[in-house]
Structure 1
Amino acid sequence: MPLYSYKARDKRGQLHKGEQEASHKSSVAARLLDDRLTPVSIEEIEPSIKLEDLLKQYLPKKTIPLDDLVLFCRQMHALTKSGIPIMRAVFGLAETTNNEALSEVLQDIGSVLSRGKTLSQALHQHENFFSPIFISMVHVGESTGNLDQAFYQLVHYLEMMRDTKKKVSSALRYPTMVIASILIALVVVNVVVIPSFAKVFDKFGSDLPLATQMLLATSHFFIEYWWVLIGFIVSALFGMSRYLKTERGALNWDRIKLKLPIVGGLLNRICLSRFTRTFSMLFASGVPILQSIDISAESIGNLHIEKNVREMRIGIERGDSLSRTANSSGMFTPLILQMIAVGEESGALDALLLDVSEFYDEETDFQVQRLSGAIEPIMLLFMGAMILVLALGIFLPLWDLSANAR
C-alpha cells in the first residue's frame, strides 16, 4: 500500500507529524479523525526503488483465506457474546489460529488495542486484509454496543461470498479442463503426429490438399519457430497483465466481462447481489446512506458498476431520492429499482433489498448449474472442427495414395 506523510493538530493546537500506510488519503484522514486529530496536510511519499521492493511485487503475498476469516468472525461472535474483553479475545485467537498471516495481524491488532485504540481503528491499519465493509460493520457494532451481532452478520456475509466463489469455480472447472486438454492435444499433434506423416506425404510427388498443406505449415511453424510462439505468448500475457493493473485497463476489462456471452449475465447478477446485500446490511445497521453507497460499491467486485454506483452520491447530495439516482445510473435491473422505490415509501428498504439479494442468489445458483451445460456445446463444436481439419488433412492424401496404387 502507498505510504503517506501527514501533519495534524490536536485540540490544543499542537502539531503532530508521522507516516501511515493506507490505500487512499481518505483512509489516513479517517484514522486521524478517529484519533481526535485534525488533518492539516496528507501527502503521498514516493517510494524509492529497492531490490526488496521489486522482489515483493513478484513474490506471492500473504493472504487470509475466507475460511479463516469466517472462523475468526464466528469465534469473535462467541467470545464477545460471552463478555470476554476484546483485547484478551484477540490475543487468544492469535495464539490458536493456524494461519500465519492472521496470527501476525491479530498480534498487531492486540498491540494497538493495548494502546487504547478501538478495534475498528486497529483494523484500519490492515486494510489489505480486511475489507471496508468488515471495518465499517465492526465500527457500527462498537458504536451501538452490539459488536457480537456485527460479527454474526459478517459471518453470513463472508459465507455468502465464499459459497459464490466456490460455485463459480466449480462450474468453470470442466470447461477449463477441456480447454487445457485441447491445447495439449494441439501441441502433441503438431510436434509428434504430423511430422511422422510429413515424410510419407513428401513421397507423393503431387499437390497436397489444402487441409494437408495447412497442417504441414502449422507443424513446421511449431517445430522451427517455437521460440517465436513462446515469446509472443509471454509478451502478450505480460502486456495484458500490466494493462489490467492500470485503472483504465481494469475498468475496460470489467466492462467487457459484463458483455461476454453466457457468463456476462451471471457476473452481473453476482455483482448486483453483492451490492444489495451489503447495502441492506449497512443501512439496517444505521450507517449513513452516502457511506453505505461507498462501502457497498467497493464490495461489488466490478469497477465499471462500482464507478457508476459511486456517482449516485452526486444525485443524493443534490437532494434527489435514492430510487431516482439509482435509475439514472443505468446499472440496476427493474426489480431492484422497484424494490428501492417501494422501500423508500414504506421505510423497509433494508428488508426489501435483502429479499432482492436472496432472489439473485437463487438465480445465480441456477445459472451456475447451467453454466457447464451452456459451454459444453461450444466446446464440442470447436473440438469437432479441429478433428475434421485433422482428419481431412491426414486421410485425404492417404486416399489419393491408395487410389493411385490401385
Structure 2
Amino acid sequence: MPVYEYIALDRKGKEHKGIISADSGRMVQDSLRRDGLYPRRIDPLPAQSAPSLSGWRSRLFNRVNSGDLVVAIRQLATLLSAGIPLASCLDSVLQQVKKGGLYRTLAQIRERINEGSSLAAAMEEQRQAFPPTYAAMVRAGESSGTLELVLERLADFGEQQESLKRKLQSSLAYPALILLVSLGVVFFLMSYVVPKVTQIFLDFEQALPLPTIILIQISEVFHAYWWVVPLLLAAAGLALKRMASSSRGRPVLDAWLLRMPLLGSLLHHIVLSRYCHTLGTLLKNEVALLQALKIVRNVVSNSLVQQATDRIIKEVSEGSSLAKPMARGTLFPPTMVQLVSAGEQSGQLDAMFLKVAQNSENYVSNRLTALTSLLEPVMILVLGGIVGFVVLAVLLPIFDMSQLIR
C-alpha cells in the first residue's frame, strides 16, 4: 500500500505531521478529516512507493542510524514508565526526531499502533531498522506487561553495542590516518619527486650507487604500472565479496579471519561478545531458549558460529543440555562452556551469558589498546624507513659528484 507524509491542522490550529498508509491521496484526506484534522499538505513517499527506487537507493532513503534508534527507544521507555499511552509516546518521540529514515519508520509504527497492531508486530514490518532481537524482546514484554522495562533493557543493549562499535572505530581511526598519509607521501615521492631528481643523475652518465639504482628501477616500474595496484585491489575485493556470498567460500573465509595473526583472536572475541550479549539479553527478557538461539543465529555474521548454533539448536531440541554441544569444537572457549554449564544448573543462564559477554568486551578493549600502541610506532617506522631510503638514494650520488668537482 502506498505511504503518504502529511501536514495537517487540528481545530485549535496546532500543526500535526505524520505518515499514513492509504490507497490514494483522497483516502488520506478522508482519514485525516475523520480524526478532526485538516490537511495542508499530502506528499507520497517515493522511497517507499516508487518501484524504481529500489535496492541501494531505497536503503539510502530509509536508512536508520543505530545510535538515533537507541536514543528513541530510551525516550519511548521513559515516557511509557510515566504512564503515557504508547501512541502518545510515539507522537512525542516523533516531535523530537522530525525527519529522516527514523521519522518515517516510527511514523509508520505509530500508524500501525493506531490501527490496533502490537508494537512487536509493527517492528517486524520495519526489518530494515529493527533486528529480530528487538521484536522478540518487545513481544515478550508485551505478553508479560513489562514493556517499559523491556524497552529500558533494549536501550541498554543498544547502547552497549554502540559503545563497542565506537571503541573499534576510535581505535582504528589514527592508524588508518597514518596509513593514508603514508600512502600519499610514497605516491608523491615516487610519481613526482624521484623521477625529476633521478633524471638529473642520469644526465651526468656517471656510475650510480646501488640504492640509487634500486630507487630508479622502483620509480620507473611505479610510474609505468601504478594503475595495476588499484586494479589488483579491486579484483581482490571482488573476489572476497564473491567468496563471502558463496555457501562454500564463506566458511573458508570466516575460518581464515579467525586464524589471522594478531587480529584473529580479536575478531573471535568480538563475535563472542555480540553472540553472548544478545543471547543473555533475550533470555533475561523471558524469551524461550530455542527461540533465542534461532534469533541469535541470524544476528551473528560468522558462518562458523551459525553452523555451530544450528547444531546446538538441534541437540537442545532433542533434550540435550546447552553446554554439551557448545563444548565440541574450538569456537566456544572452555571458560565460556563452564560458565554456561554452571548457569544451567543454577538457573542463571542469562546472567552467565552476560558475564561471558562482559569478559569478551574487556578482552577486546585491552587487545585494541595493545594493538594500536604497537601498530602506530610500527607504521611510523615503516614510513620513516621509506623516506630515509629515498633520501639516502638521492644524497649518495650528490656526495659522489661533489667529490668529482673537488
Q: TM-score, normalising length from structure 2?
A: 0.79
Q: 1:328 is matched with which residue?
A: 328
Give the distance between the partners of 1:330 and 1:61, measured in 2 at CA: 42
Q: Which amino acid aligns with 2:148?
A: D
Deviation at 1:378, TM superposition (A): 2.9
Asked if the contact 2:312–2:326 (Cα under 8 Å) also holds between the matched residues in 1, the reply is yes
Instruction: Check if 1:94 corresponds to 2:94.
Output: yes
Query: Is contact 1:64–1:99 with CA below 8 Å preserved after alignment?
Result: no
Kept after mapping to 1: 8 A contact 2:62/2:102: no
- Matched with 1:69 is 69
Deviation, structure 1 residue 69: 1.3
Gaps of 5+ in 1: 1-49
Deviation at 1:235, TM superposition (A): 4.3
Equivalent position of 2:360 in the other structure: 360
**CA distance, structure 1, for counterparts of residue 308 and residue 138 of structure 2:** 27
Alpha-carbon distance in 2 for matches of 1:341, 1:60: 44
CA distance in 1, matches of 2:364, 2:307: 23
> Any idea what the Cα deviations from partners look like across 1:302-342, whole Å, max 9, x if unmatched?
33323323321122123221111111143111211110111
Post-superposition Cα deviations, 1:268-290, rounded to whole Å, max 9, x if no partner, equal 22221222222122122221211
1:283 equivalent in structure 2: 283
Going from structure 1 to structure 2, the CA distance change for 1:250 and 1:209 (only over 3 Å counts) comes to farther
CA contact (8 A) 2:243 2:253 kept: no
Whether 1:156 aligns to 2:139 is: no
Q: Matched residues in 2 for 1:109 and 1:116: separation?
A: 11
Compared with structure 1, are the counterparts of its residues 364 and 235 closer, same or farther at alpha carbon in structure 2 (3 Å cutoff)? closer
Do the aligned partners of residues 332 and 238 (structure 1) sit closer, same or farther apart at CA in structure 2, a change above 3 Å counting? closer
Preserved CA contact (<8 Å) 1:77 1:152: yes
Say which is worse superposed, 323-332 or 236-245, in terms of deviation.
236-245
2:80 is aligned to 80
Structure 1 distance, partners of 2:155, 2:168, is 20
**Cα distance in 1 between the residues matched to 2:350 and 2:376:** 39
Deviation of the 1:125 alpha carbon: 1.0
1:399 match: 399
1:318 aligns with 2:318: yes
Quote the RMSD (CA, aligned, Å): 2.7
Could you tell me whether the CA contact under 8 Å between 2:87 and 2:113 is conserved in 1?
yes
Query: Kindly, what percent of the aligned residue pairs are identical?
Result: 27
Equivalent position of 1:176 in the other structure: 176
Q: Which amino acid in structure 1 is aligned with residue 90 of structure 2?
A: V
**How many Å separate the matches in 1 of 2:375 and 2:58?**
33
Shift of 1:148: 0.6
Structure 1 residues 276 and 236: alpha-carbon distance in aligned structure 2, compared to 1, 3 A threshold: closer
CA contact (8 A) 2:281 2:350 kept: yes
Equivalent position of 1:309 in the other structure: 309
- Cα-to-partner distance string for 1:124-164 (whole Å, 9 max, x where unaligned): 11111111111111111111111011101111101101111
In the TM superposition, what is the alpha-carbon distance from 1:212 to its structure 2 partner? 2.4
> Distance between the aligned counterparts of 1:57 and 1:197, measured in 2?
49
TM-score (norm 1): 0.79
Q: Secondary structure at the match of 1:83?
A: coil
- CA-CA distance at 1:225 after TM superposition: 4.1
Partner of 1:389: 389
CA contact (8 A) 1:262 1:374 kept: no
Stretch of structure 1 that moved more, 103-112 or 364-373: 364-373
